A and B are shown apart, each in its own frame.
Chain A
Amino acid sequence: MRENHPSTNSEDDHRSSLLDLARAEITESSNSKSRTCGGFPGPGSGSGPSEPQAPFPDQVLENVLENVLHFLSSRRDRNAASLVCRSWYRAEALTRSELFIGNCYALSPTRVTARFTRVNSVTVKGKPRFADFDLMPPNWGAHFAPWASALAQAYPWLEKLHLKRMIVTDADLALVADSFSGFRELILVCCDGFGTPGLAAVAGKCRLLRVLELVESVVEAEDDEEVDWISCFPESQTNMESLVFDCVECPINFQALESLVARSPRLKKLRLNGFVSMAQLYRLLHRAPQLTHLGTGSFSATEAGAVVDQEPDYAAAFEACKSLVCLSGFREIWADYLPAIYPVCANLTSLNLSYAHVNADQLKSVIRHCHKLQIFWVLDSIRDEGLQAVAATCKDLRELRVFPVDAREGTDGPVSEVGFEAISQGCRKLESILFFCQRMTNAAVVAMSKNCPDLVVFRLCIIGRYRPDPVTQEPMDEGFGAIVMNCKKLTRLAVSGLLTDRAFEYIGRYGKLVRTLSVAFAGDTDTGLKYVLEGCPNLQKLEIRDSPFGDGALRSGLHHYYNMRFLWMSTCKLTRQACQEVAQALPNMVLEVINVNSEENAGDVEILYMYRSLDGPRDDAPRIVTILH
């Protein structure tokens, strides 16, 4: 499970880092003659008023600067520093070691490697979030391959690679494994395109590997290609600190895994996939009682014992793990085994039961021990009753996610405004909530806005589209309005239910810090979107689907689009003509029009995906994507 602390979510830039890079590029090319700006005279030039004439004052300054800049880690600070003057720009470029690319198509890999020469850590993000829900054609893009080859050439000392929503192939992973001898960390989040052969290459060749995390990525067995990658790790002691493979849908060689764990004394994070049984987990816990983060695998038995023979003392095994603070997994949970985790509950700060069908009683038996819990992910099978139990015990809760077991639109569900309000009453420190339900009232949402003023992330998904408040029959405008009004730190918002333009008026007026906004089946007219585009200066990521916003609304954001990571609008009322106009008005924006169902040159636009780019449109777009310029 991703541990996004809400207030430092790296997804949301405070400022547009790419904009700063762009400005810096322009500054560099226009100042080609002077080496510095400011008041230091160069050797041989006219003297300044009262400066001492040191031999190479510029050089001294640059050395000092480089040394100072080494300590600057925040990329926003670095972006600011790079804008001061050319000298600072160069010094910053020489000293930046961590690279963050929020949109892989915003610039070309060669531009990156030309500017930054001493990078040892790279993060690249690809597809927009709506691609997770099958709204993007599967071959749309975000291929890691061109980045892989550029990075392999430019940074042979690369240590860390973090990719999100990219297509990564086995060949890419093999290239990574071959190219970076000091490679230490590979984190793949929501990626696909690779399988066990790629993992085997990394495990086998990256002898210094410390971190291998596969998070919500699609890794499946493809017939003959399945490889026993766990056996590929070096046979001597490893440096492994974190091994996360809970999303890998392939059986695992348990003996090899056990041996790997046994020879990895620094292992702290281990998240197993559903092919690891309870009995196997038991053995692993004995090998690694020092674990701090554990994904339990299936948490069920594999052998249907004829006699109930001595089942190992699972609770004792858990109890021996004194450092355990984060628990997840439970992929095929046998509820009878739940008591095994009681001994560690008191220390847990993070618990993810979102794959486990536990009912209210089962949950209560666990949650009543979890006084320190800060992060809790769960299925709505626990019902309002379960939520009330959470509210009663978890006074320190910061992040709650409640996922639906049955994601179909219905009238009643197991959780509702009752549990929601209980949470708001009991968990006053709440900062982040994601809540799926079939019904919600404005009153409950207003209550949360008042009880939980620290909310930074508020994502409410009423599964039934266009649902009004079931008690008052009113739209949900007032509830969401209260959230933006009262939660002054709010940066991420997702809305649902029946919403009129008024809801957007509230967002535009009060949501001044909102950076990410997610809208679906909402609003009445263009005015709604206008409120938001005109009112929210920090908006970075705007994703809208199935809402009646059209060309007029699109035009109202022209002043702001270049500051954003992206704009997504699908099944709205945009015309191709208007998109063309925007493309012409904003030459540095790339407008991708994707029409899956209709003709290539249809007047209507099914999907508009728009983002800024320093290097123009990409050249790997599939036929289904039309790039306007």
Chain B
Amino acid sequence: MVFEETELRLGLGLGLPGNEAELGLRKRGFSETQTETTTVDLMLNLSPKESAAADGPDPRDNTNTSPKEKTLLLPDPAKPPAKAQVVGWPPVRSFRKNMFAAQKSSEEESEKSSPNASFVKVSMDGAPYLRKVDLKMYKSYPELSDALGKMFSSFTIGNCESQGFKDFMNESKLMDLLNSSDYVPTYEDRDGDWMLVGDVPWEMFVESCKRLRIMKGKEAIGLAPRAVEKCKNRS
């Protein structure tokens, strides 16, 4: 099986398409040094060259500072907080630098009230490991279903891929699906109930979804009565 989005596995799924490549691992071979050390807040006025691409240390950087200047460097209030990164400092290897990003994303996942991202774990029966998605990245069920389809592309998600989830509002179609052996997306909501994806309006889904699980249709049958019940209550 080929799973492409391995970056997510490392907790780097910050939801911004560009970042995944930047924060990615060093490729083998002779590619350029990754930019993970110099991505943020490069406004230190120690030297403008420090903020250049991560090619190497700037020779004009610290070598001309006198000993006296050094003690003034950090407490100087005129400088922004020293959040900028110097290449190769501190001496932690790149996979350890990614620890911070990994922790951040797992923190974000547990803070559902975060306005910027809403991470949920996605598991699929039979797949060897979990993914994480940021629900706020998508605006509708078809978008989400597309993304899930790509994520677990080795497995078929059946009807969901082409039609999205709106068919669950149709009771008979629902029953058909559940009787097949195709995969069915389900989610756990805030009440701890497991529901079929697609039975509430999108925004409500994003707010209430804590976790996604793509299970086999047959196993999801147990959820059907609840889903149907909630359908009925709403119509």
Contacts and interface: CB of A to CB of B under 8 A. Distances in A.
Interface of A: 130, 132-135, 137-139, 192-195, 216, 218, 220-223, 226, 247, 249-252, 254, 274-277, 280, 298, 300-304, 306, 332, 354-355, 357, 379, 381, 403-410, 436, 461, 463-468, 498, 500, 518, 520-521, 524, 545-546, 548, 570-573, 594-598, 604-607
Interface string B78-92: 000111011111111
Given A277-B129, A596-B55, A466 B74 contact: yes
Contacts, number: 193
Given A302-B130, A548-B63, A606-B59, A134 B94 contact: yes
B213 A604 contact: no
B123 interface: yes
B28 A218 contact: yes
Contact of A251 (B25, B55, B129, B212): B129
Interface string B1-44: 11100100111000000000000011111111110010000000
A548 B49 CA distance: 18
B99 A405 contact: yes
In this complex, which of A274, A518, A594 has the most chain B Cβ atoms within 10 angstroms of its Cβ? A274
Given A251-B3, A596-B55, A606-B56, A545 B130 contact: no
B57 A545 contact: yes
B31 A138 contact: yes
Contact of A135 (B9, B57, B74, B123): B57
B221 interface: no
A252 B86 CA distance: 36
Contacts of A306: 186, 188, 194, 213, 215
Nearest to A494: B91
B125 interface: yes
A571 B49 CA distance: 13
A304 B128 contact: no
B58 interface: yes
B70 A409 contact: no
Contacts of A137: 33, 55-56
B128 A524 contact: no
Given A302-B127, A303-B125, A407-B96, A133 B89 contact: yes
Contacts of B186: 306
Interface in B114-168: 121, 123, 125, 127-130
Contacts of B173: none
Interface string B48-84: 0100101111111111010100110110000001110
B130 A597 contact: no
Interface of B: 1-3, 6, 9-11, 25-34, 37, 49, 52, 54-63, 65, 67, 70-71, 73-74, 81-83, 85-97, 99-100, 102-103, 106, 121, 123, 125, 127-130, 186, 188, 194, 211-213, 215
A373 to B, nearest CB: 22
A606 B57 contact: yes
In this complex, which of A252, A407, A520, A606 has the most chain B Cβ atoms within 10 angstroms of its Cβ? A407
A348 B19 CA distance: 40
B55 to A, nearest CB: 5
Contacts of A355: 99
A133 B99 contact: no
Given A304-B213, A408-B83, A521-B62, A220 B92 contact: no
Contacts of A216: 93, 95
Contacts of B61: 546, 571
B28 A465 contact: no
B193 to A, nearest CB: 10
Given A218-B25, A249-B6, A275 B91 contact: no
Contacts of A409: 82-83
Nearest to A406: B100
Contact of B73 (A220, A300, A466): A466
Given A193-B29, A220-B28, A409-B83, A304 B90 contact: no
B30 A546 contact: no
A467 B82 CA distance: 12
A38 B52 CA distance: 65
A250 B2 CA distance: 9
B63 A304 contact: no
Contact of A277 (B85, B99, B128): B128
Nearest to A381: B103
Contact of B71 (A250, A274, A379, A498): A498
A500 B121 CA distance: 51
A571 B62 contact: yes
A314 B98 CA distance: 29
Given A139-B30, A466-B74, A571 B57 contact: yes
